[in-house]
Amino acid sequence: MSDLVTLFGTDQPPVVGQRFAAGPWALTLEDGAVRHITLNGREAIRNIAFLVRDRDWGTLVPVISNLDVVAADGGLRVTYDADFTSGAATLAVRVSIEVSADRLVMTATGTAQGAFETNRAGFTVLHPIADVAGQPVRVDHSDGSCEDSVFPDHIAPWQPFMEISALTHQVGDAALRCALEGDRFEMEDQRQWGDASFKTYNRPLALPWPYRIEDGACLSQAVELTWNPRPAPAREERAQGRSDATFPEMALVIDADDARRLGRHPGDVAGVGPQRLLCHFDATLGDTARQFSAFAAAQKACPGQLFDLELICGFEGEPDAELHSLAREMRAAGFEPDSVLVCPSVDRQSTPPGSDWPPCPPLPDIHAAAAGAFGGMTRGGGMVSFFPELNRKRPPVALLDFVSHGLCPIVHAADDVSVMETLQAVPHITRSARAIIGDAEYRIGPATLAMRQNPYGTRTIPNPDRARICMADDDPRHRGRFGAAYAIGLACALAPAGISVWTPAALYGPRGVVGADGAWPISSALRGLAALAGARVHHAQITEGVAEARIGDTRVTANLGAEPSGTLEAYGWAID
């Protein structure tokens, strides 16, 4: 097995950027994007890139050519061509980057060759969240007006700023102004999806998508960063998490087919030793009695295991009738879950800004009916997708025993660095969730590298070449040392939040812990973490690319980077 496969589960090497410095600026050039822009040593902008999205919000990978880099006289000039393909059409874009002491300018001019279908084509600017969330910002608008505001502290469900022409915020001892030209720009709080950034993007979401750039049509856009000295104000340090937090119980997710396999091989669950199995039940698939029978057989084969039911319902009629019918089938099959989470099928898909909500009974009616159908059981709500869906359609907490949502780190970017950076956003997600649900029991549903279901498109993205791609249902890094390090990083990010249950993997399949050729590295890491359930969380943090925690009498560490750190090798970890 090659070193790449050991680390990443694939022999495709990671993209390595090139670092440049020019006067007070430093930046990384990577696949045409400008990343980790610092000003006088402080991160100013996380990323600037010209991006093109397909109709499923997948990111098109351009063919980059004619790259020319000139670093001289304290400045930097970069030019390249980027060709994006959508169907039979191409969007040919010329990009230039100019850096001098007082400014950084990135421009793009493009021409469609054929009718080019896209959901978005243009510049995206990412502001970091550290020292930015909750802090002042001046927003210049397209109509010439301006406002003094703040970046959201708790995660904003909808766009915090619209019709943006410039944003000015504090970076160390400087005021950084980011001006945008060539289209209508707005911002979304990307922490919702796990990204450690606020994203400013072109073309309002309220406009129809996908749309076409007609053959021969041109576009021209620009982003300009400028700065002026300005003393930094004093800031208060925020306490992270709960002082009384204990480490959560672990669940692995299974569906009915997995349950049948587990019924034949009950020892498969022992490799990790989770406290719970989360049973994904989709009533819209039909054959509900057979699904319940599969879970009942698995429960019989694993008598010491707790089983939870994740129940997806169509709710095309009255919720009361559907839920009582399913409860009768469940009891007839002999399946006795410890808890049931009810979620409407339509809520598995995101409802973006400007879109109409799909027909669905009110959530209070659904959960009141669930109380009648599953009386005496621990009942939950929330979303089987991710935090944005919960943030935009909030559950009736007073009717529930617990609230849950999932996580996925490859919604918007899938390179190694971006995936690990999503862990920075996890405390923001849990803190924002707590603002919604208060002291209710809080569970994290499936939180795997790969995406089990795509709320933002018609499908998850196939990945037969084992590449690093967004919204894929199979991410090879899950099977490498990278996947184990990510799981430990996620555990450290969640540990202070008072989570009761987390679900870091499936039992089987590409997001599982049992492969055709035996267990993967993530299995050993999860086994060590499962043993910590219920222990006091004394300390947990992620700093300088290392996750570390002290849970009970156990020290947990993971190197989240591709270079050795201290005694830890690349993506190495220890639980001792």
Q: Which tokens hold the place of 157?
A: 């469900």
Q: Give the CA count within 13 Å in the CB-facing half-sphere of 185.
A: 27
Give the whole-angstrom CA distance, residue 54 versus residue 419. Answer: 21
Cα 171 off chain centre by: 26
CA distances 115 to 90, 118, 214, 312, 547, Å, are 8, 10, 4, 39, 47
Return the exposure string of 188-209: e unless at least 16 CB atoms fall within 10 Å of the residue's CB, then b.
bbbbbbbbbbbbbbbbbbeeeb
Name the superfamily (CATH) of residues 249-575: Aldolase class I (3.20.20.70)
Q: Are 510 and 446 in contact (CB under 8 A)?
A: no
Name the strand (E) or helix (H) holding 212.
strand 211-213
Query: Residue 354: what pLDDT?
Result: 78
Q: Which tokens hold the place of 439?
A: 């002291």
Give the whole-angstrom CA distance, residue 278 versus residue 272. Answer: 14
Report DSSP state, residue 513. S
Report DSSP state, residue 246. B
Q: Are 341 and 308 in contact (CB under 8 A)?
A: yes
Give the 3-state secondary structure of residue 154: coil
Query: Residue 2: what pLDDT?
Result: 64
Q: Are 60 and 85 in contact (CB under 8 A)?
A: yes
Query: Residue 242: what pLDDT?
Result: 82
Q: Which tokens hold the place of 396?
A: 């009736």
Q: What angle do CA 249, 253, 254 make, to 5 degrees?
A: 140
Give the whole-angstrom CA distance, residue 474 versus residue 462. Answer: 7
Residues contacting residue 37 through CB under 8 Å, at least 6 positions apart: 25, 26, 27, 43, 44, 45, 46, 48, 104, 225
Largest CA distance in the chain: 79
Q: What is the pLDDT of residues 133-146, one digit of tens each?
A: 999 999 999 999 99
Task: Domain 3-229: state its class.
Answer: mainly beta
Q: Which amino acid is at 199?
A: K
Q: Exposed, middle or buried, 63 (CB in 10 Å: 0-12/13-18/19+)?
A: exposed
Q: Are 218 and 230 in contact (CB under 8 A)?
A: no
Give the whole-angstrom CA distance, residue 520 versus residue 513. Answer: 6
Q: Are 500 and 443 in contact (CB under 8 A)?
A: yes
Give the whole-angstrom CA distance, residue 157 versus residue 383. Answer: 14
Give the whole-angstrom CA distance, residue 360 versus residue 165. Answer: 38
Give the whole-angstrom CA distance, residue 30 versus residue 10. Answer: 20
Beta strands in 484-572 (DSSP E): 501-506, 514-515, 518-519, 537-543, 546-551, 554-559
Cis peptide before 210 (omega within 30 of 0): yes
Within 10 angstroms of residue 42's Cβ, the number of other Cβ atoms is 17
Beta strands in 356-401 (DSSP E): 378-386
Q: Which tokens hold the place of 131?
A: 């020292």
Closest CA to 27 of 80, 104, 48, 35: 35
Closest CA to 562 of 420, 389, 439: 420
Give the 3-state secondary structure of residue 199: strand
Within 10 angstroms of residue 409's Cβ, the number of other Cβ atoms is 28
> What are the structural domain ranges in the chain?
3-229, 249-575
Give the whole-angstrom CA distance, residue 200 versus residue 163. Answer: 10
Q: What is the pLDDT of residues 188-213, one digit of tens each?
A: 999 999 999 999 999 999 899 999 99
Q: What angle do CA 394, 398, 403 make, to 5 degrees?
A: 55
Closest CA to 406 of 340, 477, 499: 499
Q: Are 143 and 203 in contact (CB under 8 A)?
A: no
Residues in the chain where the model's pLDDT stays below 50 = 1
pTM of the model: 0.95
Which residue, chain included where needed, has tokens 């679900």?
A: 503
Cα 351 off chain centre by: 17
Give the whole-angstrom CA distance, residue 576 versus residue 569. Answer: 16
Tell me the torsion sign for CA atoms 400, 401, 403, 406: negative
Q: Are 48 and 25 in contact (CB under 8 A)?
A: no
